[in-house]
């Protein structure tokens, strides 16, 4: 089955070897490369070799996206686990963020689905946190609204 590649997408070109990268891991579905604008030492990006702009746009049609969507999540998390273990062992990081942004409001700047692996070190200056808020008074109504999205 032929994978879907967007000829204008920089991450498609990086994932599929059209543009040289510093890769830490590669298999038939993913290429994990060092981030050129790292948040921390060892920051890498898991790039699917098949194009989808973001999580919302992962098609169900496996002829377009040959990694079956249900299996995609387990495959990408398997790659994340494998790379995280290698980072922990070799970089002696104290923790690791697995980050996946969808849409500009969420911080996505390249519209090719990808996952960041950000090694964390005690007292680093990486800021991927939020102050927990109070429980929403209308939590039940919000949950019902979200459930309607499954219909």
Q: How far apart are CA 98 and CA 96, in angstroms?
A: 7
33: β partners: 23, 45
Active-site choice (43, 51, 112, 114):
114
Q: How far apart are CA 59 and CA 62, in angstroms?
A: 7
Q: How far apart are CA 45 and CA 102, in angstroms?
A: 15
Q: How far apart are CA 34 and CA 40, in angstroms?
A: 11
Residue 43 annotated to the active site: no
**Which residues are known to be catalytic?**
114
């Amino acid at each position: 089955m032929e994978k879907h590649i967007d000829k204008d997408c920089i991450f498609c070109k990086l994932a599929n070897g059209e543009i040289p990268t510093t890769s830490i891991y590669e298999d038939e579905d993913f290429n994990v490369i060092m981030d050129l604008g790292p948040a921390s030492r060892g920051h890498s990006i898991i790039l699917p070799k098949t194009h989808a702009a973001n999580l919302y746009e992962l098609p169900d049609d496996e002829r377009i996206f040959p990694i079956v969507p249900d299996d995609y999540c387990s495959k990408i998390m398997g790659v994340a686990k494998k790379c995280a273990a290698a980072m922990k062992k070799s970089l002696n990081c104290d923790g690791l963020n697995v980050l996946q942004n969808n849409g500009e409001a969420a911080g996505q700047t390249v519209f090719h689905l990808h996952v960041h692996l950000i090694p964390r070190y005690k007292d680093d200056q990486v800021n991927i946190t939020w102050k927990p808020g109070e429980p929403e008074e209308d939590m039940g109504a919000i949950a019902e609204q979200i459930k309607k999205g499954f219909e």
